[in-house]
Amino acid sequence: MREYLNTRFAGQWIGRAAPIAWPPRSPDLTPLDFFLWGFVIDRVFVPPLPANIVELRTRITAAVAKVTPEMLRSVWQGTDYRWDVCRITNGSDIEP
């Protein structure tokens, strides 16, 4: 794939080991990482653990259904704050 991209889009494609480096993904700036996955995991993987894929899917669906509009507003405010901190600190690490 890289060979094709280098031939077709010489010096113009973005990715790992590419002419234009893809910036690292920051979990501090990604709501799915700093909120949703932890929220779902805390509700899915409680004893007794899911016995099969159907039970796992049911638990995941139930956990996601428990996300409220107020929670999403709070996450958005947190995301906005994290973006501001990132801009102010010129991309430095964000303390939790």
Q: Dump pLDDT digits (tens) for 47-59.
A: 999 999 999 999 9
Examine the pLDDT at 93 and tell me if it is beyond 60: yes
Residue 96 confidence (pLDDT) above 60: no
Domain limits at 72? 24-96
pTM of the entire predicted model: 0.58
Torsion of CA 9, 13, 19, 24, to 10 degrees: -170
> Does 48 map to a domain?
yes
- In the beta sheet, which residues pair with residue 14? 20
User: 59 lies in a domain?
Assistant: yes
State how many domains the chain has.
1
Predicted local confidence at residue 95, as pLDDT:
61
Residues 39 and 64: beta-carbon distance below 8 Å = no
Query: Is position 79 within any domain?
Result: yes
Does residue 15 sit within a domain?
no
Q: Is residue 2 part of a domain?
A: no
